[in-house]
Structure 1
């Protein structure tokens, strides 16, 4: 059976795995993402692939999930957030010396592909994937394929504006979907409001225990998340909207969104299913491999 070197590159860690064509993990590890500069990320990728090939000579390709807007045909990265070494690079050309087939895809698109292959979107021909974490990302799966858009920028849901009052640069700084509804910003808001530093887990424990002041802020963020999803629902009219990221594991968020959607007076709102992503932390690896297998 063929094996593949698969990596999910993040701002903090690089998840690395050797996987077979059924999506089963043979071995895996997590390595801190190197500091940006001097192409350190490419040095790390090369070292992982060389090691994988030495241990598993059957390695037949490299599949990458990256936090960037990427042209999936040539691997050109036009925009990247935390892993800035990727910006302006042509990943496939940069790693051509590995002399194995290489495929690269955006991390949110990989999350969507993971749900299509092995998750809650197996039966859907069209769905959106909204990923919630430090910011808000997304993927658009229409007509049985990912919609990439110009320079791979389709699905940047976090840049959607949820307010119309103010100058444009100020709106993006204060009222983008990522700014008003991401997990990181909710925790930051709570810490500032109560003048204390707590983790997300600690804040949600207070919320679950019925703290009314905490509930006001948490549910304000839940409501803004619902607004963004309702906007997306009417733009794309998909069969499903999948919510991913650590927060999606909380059933109360999904229930809250469903309750808000139920109030929307349009026929389409009653037809679209809101569900949590199933694949969790493995989504980047699974989706990257699925993308590779679709190409080869």
Structure 2
């Protein structure tokens, strides 16, 4: 049995998982009462000490720039008191010296797909997660590829366009994150952004709203272009799309059609990337954190 924490911006989820990655028990609590490293460590260690299960190890999924090998958080905005903290050592010391591992939450989502998700049949894969930004995980030989500066998979910042007149560089997140998609839709429909979310967009699409259909078609093309770029940079066997909007069947269908359109129109592409959706969503960070633990134990 393993105790796994998913440290989110406003809440901390924790669960007990077995060796196969099955979640047997889960809980969560708000983190706004934690204001210091001692409070943070005490809160997590109390769960370990008061738990009814015999725990073989603790795995953590955490936002920010992570040195997974050292178990250290290099940069994190949600919990500034954790910056430059070797979290694995601090928590292990408070939990009877038990082994603790740490990995970035987006990378954990990728590992979940590589282990028992929709990329499990492949050695090399990429997971793209649409949300406030665009998260990513590059999986090589079933393990996270971190890169020389631990930035591999930080695909939000890919420069996708340049507005010469305004001297403005446009990133992929600026055009294709769920946040951007909602903002573009609100602007085109002259609505306040507070009235637009993913459900609203796809409800309008079902009603064949021409403006929304046009926005989505452009979105599919923008995504497909970058998937081709990712394909040629890393040559994964499969790319999995995650995030709430990827649950909409229209998204996978639209992206696949856009990929085929580019392939047929340009006559210069070498292959059509193999794309599917993620299997795990809310539980992905927990499952992937455990897989990371299993890989380095």
TM-score in terms of structure 2 length: 0.88
Measured in 1, the distance between the counterparts of 2:138 and 2:202 equals 30
CA deviations on 1:171-218 (whole Å, 9 max, x unpaired) are 1xxx11111100012112322332233232122211221111122223
Residue 21 of structure 1 aligns to a residue whose secondary structure is coil
Please give the residue correspondences for 1:80-119 in structure 2 after superposition, counting only pairs within 5 Å: 80-98=76-94, 99-119=97-117
Length, aligned pairs only: 288
Residue 159 of structure 2 aligns to a residue whose secondary structure is coil
Structure-2 change in CA distance of 1:52 and 1:95 (3 Å): closer
Residue 288 of structure 1 aligns to a residue whose secondary structure is helix
* Larger mean Cα displacement after TM superposition, 180-189 or 82-91: 82-91
1:183 is aligned to 2:183: no
Structure-2 change in CA distance of 1:206 and 1:289 (3 Å): same
The corresponding residue for 1:232 is 230
Structure-2 change in CA distance of 1:275 and 1:295 (3 Å): same
Structure-2 change in CA distance of 1:82 and 1:221 (3 Å): farther
1:143 is aligned to 2:126: no
> Shift of the alpha carbon at 1:92?
1.8
> Shift of the alpha carbon at 1:88?
2.3
> Shift of the alpha carbon at 1:95?
2.2
Measured in 1, the distance between the counterparts of 2:86 and 2:166 equals 32
Q: Is the 8 Å Cα contact of residues 64 and 105 (structure 1) preserved in structure 2? A: yes
Measured in 1, the distance between the counterparts of 2:167 and 2:41 equals 36
Structure-2 change in CA distance of 1:86 and 1:195 (3 Å): same
Measured in 2, the distance between the counterparts of 1:49 and 1:35 equals 16
CA deviations on 1:94-148 (whole Å, 9 max, x unpaired) are 3232221110111121111111111111110111111111100111112332111
Unaligned runs of 5+ in 2: none
Please give the residue correspondences for 1:19-58 in structure 2 after superposition, counting only pairs within 5 Å: 19-34=17-32, 37-39=35-37, 43-44=39-40, 46-58=42-54
1:269 is aligned to 2:267: no
Residue 63 of structure 1 aligns to a residue whose secondary structure is strand
> Shift of the alpha carbon at 1:277?
0.5
RMSD of aligned Cα (Å): 2.3
Structure-2 change in CA distance of 1:88 and 1:163 (3 Å): same
> Shift of the alpha carbon at 1:70?
0.8
> Shift of the alpha carbon at 1:168?
11
Please give the residue correspondences for 1:209-228 in structure 2 after superposition, counting only pairs within 5 Å: 209-228=207-226
Q: Is the 8 Å Cα contact of residues 128 and 137 (structure 2) preserved in structure 1? A: yes
CA deviations on 1:3-31 (whole Å, 9 max, x unpaired) are 21101112232221111212122211122
Residue 271 of structure 2 aligns to a residue whose secondary structure is helix
> Shift of the alpha carbon at 1:227?
1.7
Measured in 1, the distance between the counterparts of 2:34 and 2:287 equals 26
Unaligned runs of 5+ in 1: none
